[in-house]
Structure 1
Amino acid sequence: MQLRDRRFLLIGGTGGIGRELIGQLLAEGARLLVATRNPESARLPEGVAGVKLDLAADDLDRQLLAITETWPDLYGVIHCAGQNQFSAIQQSSVSDIDGQLAVNLRSAMLVARHFVPMFTALDGGALVFVGSTFGSIGYPGYTAYCATKFGLRGLTEALRRELADTPVDVIYVAPRATRTAMNPNAVDQLNQALGNAMDPPQQVAANIVRAMNRDQRRCFIGWPERLFVVLNAVLPRLVDRAIIKQLPVIRRYLNSGVSS
Protein backbone atom coordinates (compact mmCIF):
# COMPACT_ATOMS: atom_id res chain seq x y z
CA MET A 1 0.00 0.00 0.00
CA GLN A 2 1.05 3.58 -0.45
CA LEU A 3 2.03 5.26 2.82
CA ARG A 4 3.08 8.70 1.61
CA ASP A 5 0.60 11.49 2.34
CA ARG A 6 -1.89 9.08 3.90
CA ARG A 7 -3.02 9.53 7.49
CA PHE A 8 -2.90 6.57 9.88
CA LEU A 9 -4.25 6.24 13.39
CA LEU A 10 -1.55 4.54 15.47
CA ILE A 11 -2.95 2.85 18.57
CA GLY A 12 -0.21 2.03 21.07
CA GLY A 13 2.22 4.61 19.78
CA THR A 14 3.80 5.28 23.16
CA GLY A 15 5.07 1.71 23.70
CA GLY A 16 8.46 0.41 22.63
CA ILE A 17 7.42 -0.80 19.17
CA GLY A 18 4.95 2.06 18.71
CA ARG A 19 7.54 4.76 19.39
CA GLU A 20 9.79 3.24 16.75
CA LEU A 21 6.89 3.02 14.33
CA ILE A 22 6.29 6.76 14.56
CA GLY A 23 9.72 7.66 13.23
CA GLN A 24 9.74 4.99 10.54
CA LEU A 25 6.26 5.84 9.27
CA LEU A 26 7.12 9.54 9.16
CA ALA A 27 10.22 8.66 7.15
CA GLU A 28 7.91 6.94 4.64
CA GLY A 29 5.92 10.15 4.28
CA ALA A 30 2.88 9.01 6.25
CA ARG A 31 0.86 11.39 8.40
CA LEU A 32 0.12 10.21 11.91
CA LEU A 33 -2.47 10.49 14.60
CA VAL A 34 -1.33 8.76 17.81
CA ALA A 35 -3.95 7.46 20.23
CA THR A 36 -3.10 7.22 23.92
CA ARG A 37 -4.87 7.45 27.26
CA ASN A 38 -2.92 10.60 28.12
CA PRO A 39 -2.21 12.58 24.92
CA GLU A 40 -1.41 15.72 26.89
CA SER A 41 1.66 14.06 28.42
CA ALA A 42 2.77 12.15 25.32
CA ARG A 43 6.00 13.38 23.77
CA LEU A 44 5.25 13.35 20.05
CA PRO A 45 7.33 14.67 17.15
CA GLU A 46 6.36 17.92 15.52
CA GLY A 47 3.46 17.45 13.12
CA VAL A 48 2.13 14.36 14.90
CA ALA A 49 -1.19 14.88 16.67
CA GLY A 50 -2.29 12.99 19.76
CA VAL A 51 -5.83 11.91 20.61
CA LYS A 52 -7.31 10.37 23.72
CA LEU A 53 -8.33 6.72 23.51
CA ASP A 54 -8.84 4.26 26.35
CA LEU A 55 -8.93 0.76 24.91
CA ALA A 56 -10.37 -0.76 28.06
CA ALA A 57 -13.22 1.75 28.37
CA ASP A 58 -16.85 0.68 28.09
CA ASP A 59 -17.48 3.52 25.64
CA LEU A 60 -14.61 2.70 23.29
CA ASP A 61 -16.99 2.71 20.32
CA ARG A 62 -18.04 6.29 21.08
CA GLN A 63 -14.41 7.38 21.50
CA LEU A 64 -13.61 5.95 18.06
CA LEU A 65 -16.57 7.79 16.58
CA ALA A 66 -15.35 11.07 18.07
CA ILE A 67 -11.92 10.54 16.52
CA THR A 68 -13.24 9.89 13.02
CA GLU A 69 -15.65 12.81 13.22
CA THR A 70 -12.65 15.06 13.91
CA TRP A 71 -10.27 13.28 11.51
CA PRO A 72 -12.38 12.05 8.57
CA ASP A 73 -9.32 11.72 6.32
CA LEU A 74 -7.96 8.62 8.11
CA TYR A 75 -6.81 6.01 5.60
CA GLY A 76 -5.70 3.30 7.99
CA VAL A 77 -5.41 2.07 11.57
CA ILE A 78 -2.42 0.33 13.14
CA HIS A 79 -3.41 -1.53 16.32
CA CYS A 80 -0.10 -1.93 18.14
CA ALA A 81 -1.32 -1.88 21.75
CA GLY A 82 -1.19 -4.82 24.10
CA GLN A 83 -0.99 -6.06 27.66
CA ASN A 84 0.66 -9.20 28.94
CA GLN A 85 1.44 -10.86 32.23
CA PHE A 86 3.90 -13.63 32.93
CA SER A 87 2.20 -15.75 35.59
CA ALA A 88 0.61 -19.11 36.18
CA ILE A 89 -3.11 -19.14 35.49
CA GLN A 90 -3.99 -19.62 39.17
CA GLN A 91 -1.93 -16.53 40.04
CA SER A 92 -3.72 -14.32 37.51
CA SER A 93 -6.32 -12.04 39.01
CA VAL A 94 -9.70 -11.54 37.37
CA SER A 95 -8.77 -7.92 36.64
CA ASP A 96 -5.52 -9.02 34.96
CA ILE A 97 -7.42 -11.41 32.70
CA ASP A 98 -10.15 -8.86 31.96
CA GLY A 99 -7.55 -6.22 31.12
CA GLN A 100 -5.82 -8.44 28.57
CA LEU A 101 -9.13 -9.45 27.01
CA ALA A 102 -10.19 -5.81 26.74
CA VAL A 103 -6.98 -4.36 25.35
CA ASN A 104 -5.65 -7.23 23.24
CA LEU A 105 -8.87 -8.57 21.73
CA ARG A 106 -12.06 -6.63 22.43
CA SER A 107 -10.54 -3.31 21.38
CA ALA A 108 -9.29 -4.82 18.10
CA MET A 109 -12.78 -6.14 17.34
CA LEU A 110 -14.33 -2.74 18.03
CA VAL A 111 -11.71 -1.02 15.87
CA ALA A 112 -12.62 -3.35 13.00
CA ARG A 113 -16.34 -2.87 13.62
CA HIS A 114 -15.95 0.90 13.46
CA PHE A 115 -13.54 1.31 10.55
CA VAL A 116 -14.69 -1.39 8.10
CA PRO A 117 -17.82 0.48 6.96
CA MET A 118 -15.91 3.77 6.88
CA PHE A 119 -13.07 2.40 4.72
CA THR A 120 -15.49 0.49 2.49
CA ALA A 121 -17.45 3.69 1.84
CA LEU A 122 -14.21 5.55 1.09
CA ASP A 123 -13.28 2.83 -1.44
CA GLY A 124 -10.10 1.81 0.37
CA GLY A 125 -8.28 1.63 3.68
CA ALA A 126 -6.03 -0.51 5.81
CA LEU A 127 -6.38 -2.35 9.10
CA VAL A 128 -3.02 -3.44 10.54
CA PHE A 129 -2.92 -5.57 13.68
CA VAL A 130 0.24 -6.41 15.61
CA GLY A 131 -0.09 -9.83 17.20
CA SER A 132 2.52 -12.24 18.53
CA THR A 133 4.16 -15.59 17.92
CA PHE A 134 2.17 -16.54 21.03
CA GLY A 135 -0.94 -16.05 18.91
CA SER A 136 0.02 -19.30 17.19
CA ILE A 137 1.91 -21.19 19.92
CA GLY A 138 0.50 -21.63 23.42
CA TYR A 139 3.24 -21.06 25.97
CA PRO A 140 3.44 -21.71 29.73
CA GLY A 141 3.05 -18.61 31.87
CA TYR A 142 1.12 -16.76 29.17
CA THR A 143 -2.26 -18.49 29.12
CA ALA A 144 -4.38 -15.33 29.08
CA TYR A 145 -2.05 -13.51 26.72
CA CYS A 146 -1.94 -16.46 24.31
CA ALA A 147 -5.73 -16.77 24.40
CA THR A 148 -6.18 -13.13 23.44
CA LYS A 149 -3.50 -13.24 20.74
CA PHE A 150 -4.91 -16.48 19.30
CA GLY A 151 -8.21 -14.60 19.18
CA LEU A 152 -6.60 -11.62 17.45
CA ARG A 153 -5.09 -13.87 14.79
CA GLY A 154 -8.48 -15.50 14.26
CA LEU A 155 -10.12 -12.10 14.02
CA THR A 156 -7.74 -10.97 11.27
CA GLU A 157 -8.09 -14.22 9.35
CA ALA A 158 -11.89 -14.13 9.39
CA LEU A 159 -11.95 -10.40 8.68
CA ARG A 160 -9.59 -10.72 5.72
CA ARG A 161 -11.82 -13.37 4.18
CA GLU A 162 -14.96 -11.40 4.96
CA LEU A 163 -13.51 -8.37 3.16
CA ALA A 164 -11.89 -10.27 0.29
CA ASP A 165 -14.21 -8.64 -2.26
CA THR A 166 -13.63 -5.11 -0.93
CA PRO A 167 -10.69 -2.68 -1.26
CA VAL A 168 -9.95 -2.87 2.49
CA ASP A 169 -6.56 -4.40 3.38
CA VAL A 170 -6.16 -6.51 6.53
CA ILE A 171 -2.58 -7.13 7.66
CA TYR A 172 -1.43 -9.25 10.61
CA VAL A 173 2.16 -9.01 11.89
CA ALA A 174 3.37 -11.41 14.59
CA PRO A 175 6.66 -10.48 16.31
CA ARG A 176 8.61 -12.91 18.47
CA ALA A 177 10.06 -11.79 21.81
CA THR A 178 10.86 -8.09 21.68
CA ARG A 179 13.10 -6.16 24.02
CA THR A 180 10.69 -3.61 25.50
CA ALA A 181 9.82 -2.27 28.93
CA MET A 182 6.63 -4.37 28.89
CA ASN A 183 8.72 -7.42 29.83
CA PRO A 184 9.55 -7.86 33.52
CA ASN A 185 13.05 -8.91 34.58
CA ALA A 186 11.97 -12.53 34.97
CA VAL A 187 11.03 -12.73 31.30
CA ASP A 188 14.32 -11.23 30.13
CA GLN A 189 16.17 -13.69 32.38
CA LEU A 190 14.07 -16.61 31.12
CA ASN A 191 14.75 -15.77 27.47
CA GLN A 192 18.45 -15.51 28.24
CA ALA A 193 18.45 -18.86 30.06
CA LEU A 194 16.65 -20.57 27.18
CA GLY A 195 18.71 -18.86 24.49
CA ASN A 196 15.62 -17.20 22.96
CA ALA A 197 16.35 -14.29 20.64
CA MET A 198 14.83 -10.92 21.57
CA ASP A 199 14.47 -8.43 18.74
CA PRO A 200 15.02 -4.70 19.28
CA PRO A 201 11.80 -2.71 18.78
CA GLN A 202 13.21 -0.76 15.83
CA GLN A 203 13.70 -4.03 13.95
CA VAL A 204 10.12 -5.10 14.66
CA ALA A 205 8.84 -1.68 13.55
CA ALA A 206 10.81 -2.01 10.31
CA ASN A 207 9.13 -5.37 9.64
CA ILE A 208 5.69 -3.87 10.22
CA VAL A 209 6.37 -1.00 7.80
CA ARG A 210 7.78 -3.46 5.26
CA ALA A 211 4.65 -5.61 5.52
CA MET A 212 2.51 -2.53 4.93
CA ASN A 213 4.55 -1.45 1.92
CA ARG A 214 4.30 -4.93 0.41
CA ASP A 215 0.62 -5.51 1.29
CA GLN A 216 1.80 -8.64 3.09
CA ARG A 217 -1.30 -10.20 4.60
CA ARG A 218 0.52 -12.28 7.21
CA CYS A 219 4.00 -11.63 8.54
CA PHE A 220 5.63 -13.84 11.17
CA ILE A 221 8.91 -12.37 12.40
CA GLY A 222 11.97 -14.40 13.35
CA TRP A 223 13.60 -17.75 12.71
CA PRO A 224 13.12 -20.48 13.95
CA GLU A 225 9.86 -19.06 15.35
CA ARG A 226 8.27 -19.07 11.89
CA LEU A 227 9.07 -22.77 11.62
CA PHE A 228 7.59 -23.49 15.06
CA VAL A 229 4.36 -21.73 14.02
CA VAL A 230 4.01 -24.15 11.09
CA LEU A 231 5.01 -27.19 13.18
CA ASN A 232 2.55 -26.26 15.91
CA ALA A 233 -0.24 -26.16 13.33
CA VAL A 234 0.51 -29.53 11.72
CA LEU A 235 2.50 -31.49 14.32
CA PRO A 236 1.69 -29.93 17.71
CA ARG A 237 3.08 -32.90 19.66
CA LEU A 238 6.59 -32.02 18.47
CA VAL A 239 6.21 -28.54 19.92
CA ASP A 240 4.67 -30.04 23.08
CA ARG A 241 7.82 -32.09 23.60
CA ALA A 242 10.15 -29.19 22.99
CA ILE A 243 8.32 -26.96 25.48
CA ILE A 244 8.00 -29.73 28.08
CA LYS A 245 11.81 -29.97 28.06
CA GLN A 246 11.91 -26.23 28.84
CA LEU A 247 9.25 -26.45 31.57
CA PRO A 248 11.60 -26.81 34.59
CA VAL A 249 13.42 -23.62 33.55
CA ILE A 250 10.15 -21.82 32.83
CA ARG A 251 8.79 -22.81 36.26
CA ARG A 252 11.93 -21.53 37.96
CA TYR A 253 11.35 -18.02 36.64
CA LEU A 254 7.55 -18.28 36.83
CA ASN A 255 7.82 -18.92 40.55
CA SER A 256 10.74 -16.58 41.18
CA GLY A 257 8.59 -13.76 42.50
CA VAL A 258 10.24 -11.37 40.03
CA SER A 259 7.57 -11.71 37.38
CA SER A 260 5.00 -9.24 38.63
Structure 2
Amino acid sequence: MELRNRVFLLLGGSGGIGQALIQPLVEAGSRVIVASRHPKPMVGRADGVEQVSLDLAAPDLPRVLADLSKAYPDIDGVIHCAGQNIFTGIEDLPVAALDSLLSVNLRSAILVAHHFVPRFRRQGRGALVFVGSTFGSIGFPGYGVYCATKFGVRGFSESLRRELADTAIQVLYVAPRATQTSMNPTAVNELNAALGNRMDSPEAVAGEILAAMKSDQQRRYLGWPEKLFVRLNGILPRLVDRAMLKQLPIIRRFLQSGVSS
Protein backbone atom coordinates (compact mmCIF):
# COMPACT_ATOMS: atom_id res chain seq x y z
CA MET A 1 0.00 0.00 0.00
CA GLU A 2 1.10 3.54 -0.65
CA LEU A 3 2.07 5.28 2.60
CA ARG A 4 2.68 8.77 1.29
CA ASN A 5 -0.18 11.19 1.97
CA ARG A 6 -2.02 8.61 4.08
CA VAL A 7 -3.63 9.35 7.44
CA PHE A 8 -3.34 6.46 9.87
CA LEU A 9 -5.11 6.03 13.17
CA LEU A 10 -2.58 4.18 15.31
CA LEU A 11 -4.16 2.33 18.22
CA GLY A 12 -1.80 1.43 21.04
CA GLY A 13 0.63 4.21 20.21
CA SER A 14 2.00 4.40 23.74
CA GLY A 15 3.20 0.77 23.68
CA GLY A 16 6.57 -0.44 22.46
CA ILE A 17 5.55 -1.54 18.95
CA GLY A 18 3.17 1.37 18.52
CA GLN A 19 5.77 3.92 19.55
CA ALA A 20 8.30 2.34 17.22
CA LEU A 21 5.88 2.68 14.28
CA ILE A 22 5.31 6.42 14.59
CA GLN A 23 8.53 7.85 13.18
CA PRO A 24 8.86 5.38 10.27
CA LEU A 25 5.29 6.14 9.22
CA VAL A 26 5.97 9.88 9.31
CA GLU A 27 9.21 9.44 7.38
CA ALA A 28 7.26 7.46 4.77
CA GLY A 29 4.99 10.46 4.26
CA SER A 30 2.04 9.50 6.45
CA ARG A 31 0.22 11.58 9.00
CA VAL A 32 -0.36 9.65 12.23
CA ILE A 33 -3.18 10.04 14.75
CA VAL A 34 -1.78 8.31 17.83
CA ALA A 35 -4.53 7.01 20.11
CA SER A 36 -3.85 5.68 23.58
CA ARG A 37 -5.60 5.55 26.91
CA HIS A 38 -3.03 7.82 28.56
CA PRO A 39 -1.20 9.88 25.90
CA LYS A 40 2.41 10.67 26.75
CA PRO A 41 4.45 13.71 25.69
CA MET A 42 6.23 13.06 22.39
CA VAL A 43 9.24 15.34 22.27
CA GLY A 44 10.48 16.08 18.78
CA ARG A 45 7.60 14.34 17.03
CA ALA A 46 5.16 17.18 16.48
CA ASP A 47 5.32 17.25 12.68
CA GLY A 48 2.85 14.83 11.16
CA VAL A 49 1.74 13.44 14.53
CA GLU A 50 -1.33 14.17 16.62
CA GLN A 51 -2.35 12.54 19.88
CA VAL A 52 -5.80 11.62 21.10
CA SER A 53 -7.11 9.87 24.18
CA LEU A 54 -8.98 6.64 23.48
CA ASP A 55 -9.96 3.85 25.86
CA LEU A 56 -10.40 0.67 23.83
CA ALA A 57 -12.08 -1.02 26.80
CA ALA A 58 -14.80 1.63 26.96
CA PRO A 59 -18.31 0.12 26.95
CA ASP A 60 -19.39 2.89 24.55
CA LEU A 61 -16.47 2.40 22.15
CA PRO A 62 -18.72 2.62 19.05
CA ARG A 63 -19.76 6.15 20.07
CA VAL A 64 -16.16 7.09 20.88
CA LEU A 65 -15.01 5.90 17.46
CA ALA A 66 -17.81 7.83 15.78
CA ASP A 67 -16.74 11.03 17.55
CA LEU A 68 -13.12 10.45 16.63
CA SER A 69 -14.09 9.78 13.03
CA LYS A 70 -15.95 13.07 12.84
CA ALA A 71 -12.97 14.93 14.26
CA TYR A 72 -10.60 13.31 11.73
CA PRO A 73 -12.57 12.72 8.53
CA ASP A 74 -9.41 12.13 6.48
CA ILE A 75 -8.37 8.90 8.24
CA ASP A 76 -7.88 6.26 5.56
CA GLY A 77 -6.06 3.59 7.52
CA VAL A 78 -6.10 2.03 10.97
CA ILE A 79 -3.26 0.12 12.63
CA HIS A 80 -4.49 -1.86 15.63
CA CYS A 81 -1.49 -2.81 17.75
CA ALA A 82 -3.01 -2.26 21.18
CA GLY A 83 -3.03 -5.21 23.50
CA GLN A 84 -2.96 -6.54 27.02
CA ASN A 85 -1.39 -9.72 28.31
CA ILE A 86 -1.27 -11.74 31.50
CA PHE A 87 0.70 -14.89 32.27
CA THR A 88 -1.13 -17.02 34.81
CA GLY A 89 -2.93 -20.31 35.26
CA ILE A 90 -6.59 -20.17 34.33
CA GLU A 91 -7.67 -20.81 37.92
CA ASP A 92 -5.72 -17.74 39.06
CA LEU A 93 -7.02 -15.36 36.40
CA PRO A 94 -9.28 -12.64 37.85
CA VAL A 95 -12.56 -12.26 35.95
CA ALA A 96 -11.94 -8.52 35.63
CA ALA A 97 -8.63 -9.22 33.89
CA LEU A 98 -10.34 -11.72 31.59
CA ASP A 99 -12.94 -9.15 30.61
CA SER A 100 -10.28 -6.52 29.98
CA LEU A 101 -8.27 -8.85 27.74
CA LEU A 102 -11.35 -9.67 25.68
CA SER A 103 -12.34 -6.00 25.40
CA VAL A 104 -8.97 -4.53 24.47
CA ASN A 105 -7.49 -7.32 22.37
CA LEU A 106 -10.50 -8.64 20.48
CA ARG A 107 -13.71 -6.64 20.93
CA SER A 108 -12.01 -3.37 20.03
CA ALA A 109 -10.48 -4.83 16.86
CA ILE A 110 -13.89 -5.99 15.68
CA LEU A 111 -15.56 -2.68 16.56
CA VAL A 112 -12.84 -0.73 14.73
CA ALA A 113 -13.60 -2.68 11.56
CA HIS A 114 -17.34 -2.35 12.18
CA HIS A 115 -16.96 1.42 12.21
CA PHE A 116 -14.35 2.02 9.53
CA VAL A 117 -15.28 -0.50 6.81
CA PRO A 118 -18.42 1.41 5.74
CA ARG A 119 -16.48 4.65 5.79
CA PHE A 120 -13.62 3.22 3.73
CA ARG A 121 -16.15 1.83 1.24
CA ARG A 122 -17.50 5.34 0.73
CA GLN A 123 -13.99 6.78 0.43
CA GLY A 124 -13.00 4.22 -2.18
CA ARG A 125 -9.94 3.04 -0.29
CA GLY A 126 -8.76 2.10 3.17
CA ALA A 127 -6.43 -0.14 5.13
CA LEU A 128 -6.89 -2.16 8.30
CA VAL A 129 -3.72 -3.54 9.87
CA PHE A 130 -4.06 -5.93 12.80
CA VAL A 131 -1.01 -6.80 14.90
CA GLY A 132 -1.56 -10.24 16.36
CA SER A 133 0.91 -12.71 17.79
CA THR A 134 2.51 -16.09 17.24
CA PHE A 135 0.20 -17.02 20.13
CA GLY A 136 -2.65 -16.35 17.74
CA SER A 137 -1.70 -19.63 16.06
CA ILE A 138 -0.15 -21.63 18.89
CA GLY A 139 -1.87 -22.14 22.24
CA PHE A 140 0.72 -21.71 25.01
CA PRO A 141 0.33 -22.74 28.67
CA GLY A 142 -0.32 -19.81 30.96
CA TYR A 143 -1.51 -17.54 28.16
CA GLY A 144 -4.91 -19.13 27.57
CA VAL A 145 -7.09 -16.03 27.34
CA TYR A 146 -4.42 -13.98 25.58
CA CYS A 147 -4.11 -16.78 23.01
CA ALA A 148 -7.89 -16.92 22.67
CA THR A 149 -8.05 -13.20 21.87
CA LYS A 150 -5.20 -13.39 19.38
CA PHE A 151 -6.67 -16.51 17.75
CA GLY A 152 -9.82 -14.40 17.44
CA VAL A 153 -7.99 -11.46 15.85
CA ARG A 154 -6.32 -13.78 13.36
CA GLY A 155 -9.62 -15.46 12.46
CA PHE A 156 -11.48 -12.18 12.24
CA SER A 157 -8.88 -10.52 10.03
CA GLU A 158 -8.83 -13.55 7.71
CA SER A 159 -12.60 -13.55 7.42
CA LEU A 160 -12.69 -9.80 6.93
CA ARG A 161 -10.03 -9.89 4.23
CA ARG A 162 -12.02 -12.48 2.29
CA GLU A 163 -15.23 -10.53 2.81
CA LEU A 164 -13.61 -7.40 1.36
CA ALA A 165 -11.60 -9.12 -1.38
CA ASP A 166 -13.59 -7.40 -4.14
CA THR A 167 -13.16 -3.92 -2.63
CA ALA A 168 -10.31 -1.40 -2.40
CA ILE A 169 -9.99 -2.01 1.36
CA GLN A 170 -6.78 -3.80 2.33
CA VAL A 171 -6.58 -6.06 5.39
CA LEU A 172 -3.22 -7.12 6.79
CA TYR A 173 -2.45 -9.41 9.73
CA VAL A 174 1.06 -9.38 11.25
CA ALA A 175 2.06 -11.89 13.93
CA PRO A 176 5.19 -11.00 15.92
CA ARG A 177 6.91 -13.47 18.22
CA ALA A 178 8.02 -12.48 21.74
CA THR A 179 8.86 -8.78 21.76
CA GLN A 180 10.83 -6.72 24.25
CA THR A 181 8.15 -4.38 25.53
CA SER A 182 7.09 -3.04 28.91
CA MET A 183 4.15 -5.45 28.77
CA ASN A 184 6.58 -8.16 29.84
CA PRO A 185 7.69 -8.13 33.48
CA THR A 186 11.20 -9.29 34.33
CA ALA A 187 10.07 -12.79 35.27
CA VAL A 188 8.39 -13.35 31.89
CA ASN A 189 11.57 -12.24 30.16
CA GLU A 190 13.39 -14.76 32.34
CA LEU A 191 10.90 -17.46 31.28
CA ASN A 192 11.63 -16.73 27.62
CA ALA A 193 15.35 -16.94 28.37
CA ALA A 194 14.90 -20.24 30.19
CA LEU A 195 13.00 -21.68 27.22
CA GLY A 196 15.48 -20.31 24.71
CA ASN A 197 12.83 -18.08 23.09
CA ARG A 198 14.31 -15.22 21.11
CA MET A 199 12.81 -11.77 21.56
CA ASP A 200 12.66 -9.03 18.94
CA SER A 201 13.00 -5.32 19.59
CA PRO A 202 9.93 -3.12 18.98
CA GLU A 203 11.89 -1.37 16.24
CA ALA A 204 12.53 -4.65 14.42
CA VAL A 205 8.84 -5.55 14.61
CA ALA A 206 7.83 -2.08 13.41
CA GLY A 207 10.16 -2.49 10.45
CA GLU A 208 8.53 -5.80 9.53
CA ILE A 209 5.06 -4.27 9.77
CA LEU A 210 6.05 -1.38 7.49
CA ALA A 211 7.65 -3.79 5.02
CA ALA A 212 4.48 -5.87 4.92
CA MET A 213 2.37 -2.77 4.36
CA LYS A 214 4.58 -1.46 1.56
CA SER A 215 4.62 -4.83 -0.23
CA ASP A 216 0.84 -5.31 0.00
CA GLN A 217 1.14 -8.53 1.98
CA GLN A 218 -2.00 -10.02 3.47
CA ARG A 219 -0.32 -11.84 6.35
CA ARG A 220 3.16 -11.90 7.81
CA TYR A 221 4.57 -14.13 10.57
CA LEU A 222 7.79 -13.08 12.27
CA GLY A 223 10.68 -15.07 13.67
CA TRP A 224 12.35 -18.42 13.20
CA PRO A 225 11.65 -21.16 14.33
CA GLU A 226 8.32 -19.65 15.39
CA LYS A 227 7.07 -19.58 11.79
CA LEU A 228 7.87 -23.27 11.52
CA PHE A 229 5.95 -24.07 14.71
CA VAL A 230 2.95 -22.14 13.39
CA ARG A 231 2.89 -24.40 10.32
CA LEU A 232 3.50 -27.55 12.33
CA ASN A 233 0.75 -26.66 14.76
CA GLY A 234 -1.64 -26.30 11.85
CA ILE A 235 -0.94 -29.69 10.28
CA LEU A 236 0.67 -31.81 13.02
CA PRO A 237 -0.43 -30.36 16.36
CA ARG A 238 0.63 -33.51 18.24
CA LEU A 239 4.27 -32.70 17.50
CA VAL A 240 3.84 -29.29 19.11
CA ASP A 241 1.96 -30.92 22.01
CA ARG A 242 5.01 -33.10 22.67
CA ALA A 243 7.40 -30.17 22.48
CA MET A 244 5.24 -28.18 24.91
CA LEU A 245 5.04 -31.14 27.28
CA LYS A 246 8.82 -31.18 27.53
CA GLN A 247 8.78 -27.46 28.35
CA LEU A 248 5.89 -27.72 30.80
CA PRO A 249 7.97 -28.23 33.99
CA ILE A 250 9.82 -24.97 33.31
CA ILE A 251 6.61 -23.14 32.40
CA ARG A 252 4.84 -24.47 35.49
CA ARG A 253 7.69 -23.34 37.72
CA PHE A 254 7.17 -19.77 36.55
CA LEU A 255 3.38 -20.10 36.76
CA GLN A 256 3.61 -21.28 40.35
CA SER A 257 5.90 -18.38 41.21
CA GLY A 258 2.99 -16.03 40.58
CA VAL A 259 4.37 -14.43 37.44
CA SER A 260 1.85 -12.07 35.85
CA SER A 261 1.61 -8.88 33.91
Pairwise TM-score range, normalised by the shorter structure: over 0.9
SS in 2 for 1:243: helix
User: Would you say the 8 A contact 2:88–2:259 is kept in 1?
Assistant: no
Are 1:149 and 2:123 matched, yes or no?
A: no
Aligned to 2:221: 220
Q: Does the 8 Å CA contact 1:104/1:148 hold for their aligned counterparts?
A: yes
Ranges in structure 1 where 5+ consecutive residues have no aligned partner: none
1:200 counterpart = 2:194: no
TM-superposed CA distance for 1:27, in Å, is: 1.5
Q: Is the 8 A contact 1:42 1:50 kept in 2?
A: no
Aligned length: 259
5+ residue gaps, structure 2, are none
The question of 1:8 aligning with 2:8 is answered yes
Task: Provide the identity percentage.
Answer: 61
What code does the residue aligned with 2:188 have? V
2:128–2:172 Cα contact (<8 Å) kept: yes
Residue 85 of structure 1 aligns to a residue whose secondary structure is: coil
Residue 25 of structure 2 is aligned to residue 25 of structure 1: yes
Residue 35 of structure 2 aligns with which residue? Answer: 35
| CA–CA separation in structure 2 for the residues paired with 1:257 and 1:125 | 43
TM norm structure 1? 0.98
Deviation at 1:7, TM superposition (A): 0.6
Q: Is the 8 A contact 1:186 1:254 kept in 2?
A: no
Distance (whole Å) between structure 1 residues aligned to residue 92 and residue 23 of structure 2: 38
Aligned counterparts, 1:1-260, within 5 A: 1-39=1-39, 41-43=40-42, 45-47=45-47, 48-260=49-261
SS of alignment partner, residue 78 of structure 1: strand
Runs of 4+ in 1 over 4 A off after TM superposition: none
> Structure 2 counterpart of 1:240, which letter?
D
Report the alpha carbon displacement of residue 29 of structure 1 after superposing the two structures with TM: 1.2
The superposition leaves residues 137-156 of structure 1 with CA deviations (integer Å, 9 ceiling, x where unpaired) of 00000000000000000000
Distance in 1 separating the partners of 2:102 and 2:258: 24
Structure 2: how far apart are the matches of 1:179 and 1:256? 21
Contact 1:156 1:172 in 2 (8 A): yes
Instruction: Provide the alpha-carbon RMSD of the alignment.
Output: 1.0
Following TM superposition, by how much is the alpha carbon of 1:258 offset from its aligned partner in structure 2, in angstroms?
A: 3.8
Contact residue 88 and residue 258 of structure 2 kept, 8 A: no
Mapped partners of 2:260, 2:168: distance in 1: 44
Aligned residues of 2:87 and 2:259 also touching (Cα < 8 A): no
Deviations 1:201-246 (A, max 9, x none): 1000000011110111000000111111110000000000001100
Q: Which amino acid aligns with 1:145?
A: Y
User: For residues 182-215 of structure 1, what are the alpha-carbon distances to aligned partners after superposition, in whole Å with 9 as ceiling and x for unaligned?
Assistant: 0012210011011110001100000001111011
Partner SS for 2:55: coil
Question: Residues of 1 paired with 2:194 and 2:38: CA distance?
Answer: 36
Cα offset for 1:257?
2.6
Amino acid at match of 1:149: K
Q: Aligned AA for 2:42?
A: R
TM-score, normalised relative to structure 2: 0.97
- The answer on whether the counterparts of 2:160 and 2:171 sit within 8 Å (CA) in structure 1 is yes
Match of 1:74, SS state, is coil
Secondary structure of the structure 1 residue equivalent to 2:76 = strand
Could you report, residue by residue, the CA deviation over 1:96-131 in whole angstroms, capped at 9, with x for unpaired residues? 100000000000000000000000111110000000
Matched letter for residue 106 of structure 1: R
Give, in whole Å, the separation in 1 of the partners of 2:259 and 2:62: 36
Structure 1 residue 5: Cα displacement: 1.3
Mapped to 2, the partners of 1:168 and 1:160 lie a distance apart of 8
